[in-house]
Amino acid sequence: MEKNLYYILISSLFLYMITKHFLHKFRKFPPRPFFSLPIIGHLYLLNKPLHRTLAKISNRYGPVVFLELGSRPVLLVSSPAAAEDCFTTNDLTFANRPKLLAGKHLGYNYTTLAWAPYGPHWRNLRRIASLEILSANRIQKFTGIRRDEIISLVSNLFAGSQKDDRFVVADMKSCFFKMTLNTIMMMIIGRRCYGEDTEEPVAGKLREMVEETFRLSGGMSNIGDFLPMVKWVGLNSMEKKMEELNLKKDSTMQEMIEGHRRMRKSDSACYEEGKTIVDVLLSLQQMEPEYYTDEIIRGLILVMISTGTDTSAGTLEWALSLLLNHPDSLKTAINEIDNKVGSSRLMNDSDLSNLPYLHGVINETFRMCPVAPLIPPHESTKECIVGGFRVPAGTMLLVNLWAIQNDPKLWKEAERFKPERWIEIEGQRDGFKFMPFGSGRRACPGEGLAMRMIGLSLGMLLQCFEWERIGVEKVDMNEGFGLTMPKARPLVAKYRPRPHMVDLLSRT
């Protein structure tokens, strides 16, 4: 009897999967892996690093794949043509974000620019970001801040170098994070977090907050987003960590706002309107206090700190790692800077347009090691067609940017680091093969700022110092886990001042 019951259960399960599979094909939905288990669906297929696992699934089933991840339908896209369908023809359809727990607990209940659903509120936040915070005029006003912080990094490295021409070891992950956080904080509130006369405890809180935010938001690491029953039985420890982090970041952000408020009142005589981003937001609050609440301001500050620090610092770390593993490319980039900028002055923003090879290094880093290997998820609001297949309303969209940008069918010698390929490519994006800042309505608005920060930082470090790996072995290029794609092992490198730059660095 027990054996018969066992056979009946197995047969029923098999019949269920067969019927579901052929109904799926009959309705012209995208192809999908055959075995979709009850309750968990295709979750059993996922391993870390997620972007590589998803690339293997796409290699087997095609560039448009339908997955059932627990209770959530997911469209996996890994080709330029399908991505173009999503971000042009169906851009409005996919303009929403899925309701993930990170958006609830870390995105002020889906009200921040990153997590808000498409609509009047999101459009207003986007307008503020594009016109008030990250406009070309605002970025130009902050040129001095960016350059000062990069020079501060160069000066600190020079001060830590040996006087007898020996190489010195530096933790570059920490250097890049401190520099980018200082830059962003100077733009936001006019105060640095690291260096002399700074508040190191605040810096520690912010660094922990940024790293924890990306770790908890990472990829699809929160099982509660796909299996709601996990929350019902009280097993979702990830959500509890999010709630704890939300309390910490809330109090840190509010302290910053209140401190700036007090400074504006006490120093009103010499207060300069619009000097910092918080100044701009507090001025908007005075005009429309009902809309520009402290929560809205905290959300905008949080997005700027999170997206402006970890992503830029991570790209710089990957770029220097790639150059250390490719000495010929490193030499070519340095020679270009020597020829175009020289050694009588430190390079500046205006030099970047004259350094195509350096620009190629940055683009090749974006291509091979995108800090966001999966474009942040979107969700369809109605049924649409992608790649000739029907996509139901309420489907979460995952575009595997890493898979597209490392596809050997799209890129000649895709596995090789070749900055020179970008000198040959006409235009920046080359279609939808290259989307380091996303595409469509919800593309990252910080591209202009990021390109200037990364370009000037990397360029000045190559101009001023000689760089070497700490040993004979190549730098470890394995990937860590998180919403961004950190290096599994932080970069540690050897450096020393270039002889003809010592005099200039001594006077900087």
User: Distance (Å, rounded) from C-alpha 151 to C-alpha 161?
Assistant: 15
Q: Is the Cβ–Cβ distance between 445 and 130 less than 8 Å?
A: yes
Residues 6 or more apart in contact with residue 336 via CB below 8 angstroms: 355, 356, 357, 358
Q: Which tokens sit at 456?
A: 């000037």
Q: Is the Cβ–Cβ distance between 64 and 79 less than 8 Å?
A: yes
The distance from CA 27 to its chain's CA centroid, rounded to whole angstroms, is 36
Which among 132, 106, 283, 135 has a CA at the least distance from the CA of 212?
A: 106
Per the annotation, binding residues for heme are: 444
Per the annotation, binding residues are: 444
Instruction: Residue 61: count other Cβ atoms within 10 Å of its Cβ.
Output: 18
Helix axis angle, 447-464 relative to 172-189, nearest 10°?
A: 130
* HSE, side-chain direction, 13 A CA sphere, residue 269: 1
Sheet holding 492-497, edge to edge: 168-171, 492-497, 465-468
User: Distance (Å, rounded) from C-alpha 213 to C-alpha 240?
Assistant: 13
Q: Is the Cβ–Cβ distance between 337 and 498 less than 8 Å?
A: no
Cβ-based burial of 116 (10 A; exposed 0-12, middle 13-18, buried ≥19) = buried
Beta strands in 307-429 (DSSP E): 374-379, 384-386, 389-391, 396-400
Q: What region does 46 belong to: left with phi over 0, alpha with psi -120 to 50, or beta?
A: beta
Instruction: Residue 401: count other Cβ atoms within 10 Å of its Cβ.
Output: 25
Q: Is the Cβ–Cβ distance between 405 and 368 less than 8 Å?
A: yes
User: Distance (Å, rounded) from C-alpha 114 to C-alpha 119?
Assistant: 13
Beta pairing, strands 389-391 & 396-400: unpaired
Sheet holding 374-379, edge to edge: 64-69, 72-77, 396-400, 374-379
Any idea what the Cα angle at residue 402 is, between residues 401 and 403, rounded to 5°? 90
Which residue has tokens 């929560």?
295
